[in-house]
Amino acid sequence: MSEAFLPYGRQTIEEDDIAAVVEALRADFLTTGPTVGRFEAAFAERVGASHAVACANGTAALHLAMLALGVQPGEVVIAPSTTFLATANCARYVGAEVVFADIDPASGLMTPETLGEALMRVGDRRLRAVLPVHLRGDAVDLPALAALARDAGAVLVEDAAHALGTTMDFGDGAETVGDGRHSAMTTFSFHPVKTIATGEGGMVTTNDPDLAERLRTFRSHGMVRPEHGPAWWYEMPEIGFNYRLPDILCALGLSQLAKLDRFAEGRRRLAAAYGDALAGLAPLVQAAASPPWSRPVPHLMTVLIDFEAAGRDRSQVIEALRARGAGSQVHYIPVHRQPYYADRYGVAMLPGAEAWYARCLSLPLYPAMTEADVARAAGALGEALGL
């Protein structure tokens, strides 16, 4: 076969995205200019939040959220083990300790049960934040997690790096991830594999004006301009970072955001095509479960494979897929097992994260794919498993 290789994910950059960047390069401000505010306003409007603060990447967004909350050394943050490293690392950036929550091995999501179990491991330490992840684009049970966090005296911060455009219905009508109905802040990433891309880029949304102000301050060195001083005066009451997103990338973000509905529709159509194409590979291959309240914009096409029953290990399947032109990726190696965290905390028993890790594999999914590409990837998986 001579068809192009299908990576597990990739950006969709079109001529008008390129034109938007070129225009931004000709403007007066390459950074800290008016396009930043325009991107933030459009993003806030799109997800239904009062405030959006653009920043350098999704990791910076998480770090800024911890700084804005004032999380202190020795305090505790709960994060799921099945996520990208950054969800947990942001707690360590501010000196806090991580308690890893388990996940439901069918969906990969933190649940009220797994959060409840993690809460018991916090002990008498001060819990400040709970950081659920909308893995693959599927929404966690926000009202239930928010209630548990509130009862424990902690704040909910959503890691929505996978979930731009996802909506939910918990029985009170449609809600959008990032609208802040259940959480203090929500973070997003615009890494090329995510739903919209700026190369590097991130956003934090919130409905709390004080948090928005603190996010902006920490994004730019911790600098403030008190009203009492002369025009040139600035002060740094707390130390911050340079986590700004330049106007060049905000212009790309604006252009990409305008296409979100089309990208979302494409992802939904391709995920549905996978559903049909993979039906013949059951029960060896099963799509990750989607909770009933979730209306995802699918970010990852993660399937759960019974490698033992197939008589092949994951590396062999990944290699066989690659040989047939299909990329794949493991989302994720449990973060609590990473050497840094294992050295610091030991390795907790998280059977859900282990079961998910033993079976998960993400297949190619991005809007530029066709239904024929889906058939090719699904067919390659069948062959790779000897079906």
Interface contacts to ligand PLP, rule CB under 6 A: 57-59, 83-84, 86-87, 133, 159, 161-162, 189, 191, 202
> Omega before 230 cis (within 30°)?
no
Residue 301 pairs in a beta bridge with: 363
DSSP one-letter code for 282: T
Q: Are 222 and 240 in contact (CB under 8 A)?
A: yes
Backbone angles phi, psi at 295, to 5 degrees: -120, 80
d(CA 95, CA 73): 4
Q: Are 129 and 77 in contact (CB under 8 A)?
A: yes
Q: Are 225 and 234 in contact (CB under 8 A)?
A: yes
Q: Helices in 49-163 by DSSP H: which ranges?
A: 58-69, 85-93, 112-122, 142-151
d(CA 247, CA 20): 11
Nearer to ligand PLP (CB atom), residue 310 or residue 365: 365
Nearer to ligand PLP (CB atom), residue 189 or residue 290: 189
Residue 96 pairs in a beta bridge with: none
Least separation in angstroms between CB 300 and ligand PLP = 9
> Omega before 366 cis (within 30°)?
no
d(CA 91, CA 103): 19
Q: Are 83 and 134 in contact (CB under 8 A)?
A: no
194 is catalytic: yes
Nearer to ligand PLP (CB atom), residue 99 or residue 245: 245
Least separation in angstroms between CB 96 and ligand PLP = 17
Indicate which residue of 162, 194, 295, 324 is catalytic.
194
Least separation in angstroms between CB 229 and ligand PLP = 35
Nearer to ligand PLP (CB atom), residue 12 or residue 376: 12
Nearer to ligand PLP (CB atom), residue 44 or residue 54: 54
d(CA 307, CA 313): 6
Q: Which residue is nearest to ligand PLP (CB)?
A: 58
Least separation in angstroms between CB 163 and ligand PLP = 9
Q: Helices in the chain by DSSP H: which ranges?
A: 15-25, 34-47, 58-69, 85-93, 112-122, 142-151, 209-219, 247-257, 260-278, 307-310, 314-323, 339-345, 351-359, 371-384
Nearer to ligand PLP (CB atom), residue 90 or residue 168: 90
Least separation in angstroms between CB 204 and ligand PLP = 12
What number of CA atoms fall less than 13 Å from residue 92's CA on the CB side? 14
SS3 category, 142: helix
Nearer to ligand PLP (CB atom), residue 89 or residue 167: 89
Nearer to ligand PLP (CB atom), residue 325 or residue 327: 327
Non-local CB neighbours of 376 within 8 Å, separated by 6+ positions: 1, 3, 6, 324, 325, 326
Residues recognised as catalytic: 194
